[in-house]
Amino acid sequence: MRIRPKRLERGDTIGIVAPSSPPNQESLQRSLAFLEQLGLKWRFGKHVNNVNGYLAGSDDERLQDLEEMFADPSIAGIICAGGGYGSARYTDQLDLQLIKENPKIFWGFSDITFLHTAIGLYSNLVTFHGPMLASCVGKDTFHELSAKMFQQLFEPMELHYTEDISPLTSLQGGVAQGEIVGGNLSLLTNTIGTKFEIDTKDKLLFIEDVGEEPYRVDGMLNQLRMAGKLADAAGFVIGDFSEAEPKAGRGTLTLDEVFRNYMGGLGKPVVEGFKIGHCEPHFAIPLGVLAKLDADKKTLTILPGVE
């Protein structure tokens, strides 16, 4: 079992880092009021304001911010300002032993998937796939349920996802349980052939993405199929695939057809429609904890992520 980080308490200090692209600074500042409501203090990484093209500073600067926040005993948890692109550029330089020796809450999604996967594999730490400060919390669209999901950081709580939250579709029936792993499909595909390759053996594989047409999703799932990752998995949790409409005038399969093609014939439970990903509300989940997917009842149960 993975290490579950210590829960947060009111008065704790959160480290804020930008591991990927430059966050919108105005939105980031607006998000701080929410941290105050949670009773948290915060400290910015030294390079959160840096801009280096499509990156939030150099690779060394973003790496330094991340490692310093894990090493600092006064920082109780780390929440990413935003995603975008770039976390994989320095993951092979990241001191994963340092993270293992200083386990704490690490929260983000999208491009942060590469870091989640690496930390899960080599630091054996439960991390959190949840809405980030500048890209979600600081926006007018931030949903009440998204805000409520942060409460799982303050006390161990079992999460229950049912159709009360959103309509779900079972593409293949059955029940499976195992550690829930995954995240952004593009980033999971990028791990293949690296030392950070996603391990799906007997696990529930969760996927989501944004701005990818069905043929692109098809290609990524095919790569996971050929790498044995779909056959290895115990079941599939399909999150939000927003802005996935094909370009006008181009013949296409639907996303449903793509998912059925790759997962429907494996004899393992497959459920789609979870509001997890680039969406509001965004149902935040811990990665690396035991979960149970019931495709017949269309429910997902996830054990607590904090100690």
Is position 110 annotated as part of the catalytic site?
yes
13-17 β-sheet, strand order: 41-44, 13-17, 77-80, 105-108, 127-129, 285-287
Q: Which residue among the candidates 47, 116, 129, 278 is catalytic per the annotation?
A: 278
Q: Distance between CA atoms of 27 and 85, rounded to whole angstroms?
A: 18
Q: Return the amino acid letter for 207.
A: I
Is 208 marked active-site?
yes
Find the catalytic residue in 208, 212, 272, 282.
Answer: 208
Residue 68: active-site member: no
* CB burial string 211-239: b at 16+ within 10 A, e below: ebbbebbbebbebbeebebbeebbbbbbb
Catalytic residue among 110, 135, 146, 186: 110
Pairing of strands 290-294, 175-184: antiparallel
For residue 247, CA distances in Å to 53, 166, 240 come to: 28, 27, 19
Nearest to 275 by CA among 153, 141, 176: 141
- Catalytic positions are 110, 208, 278
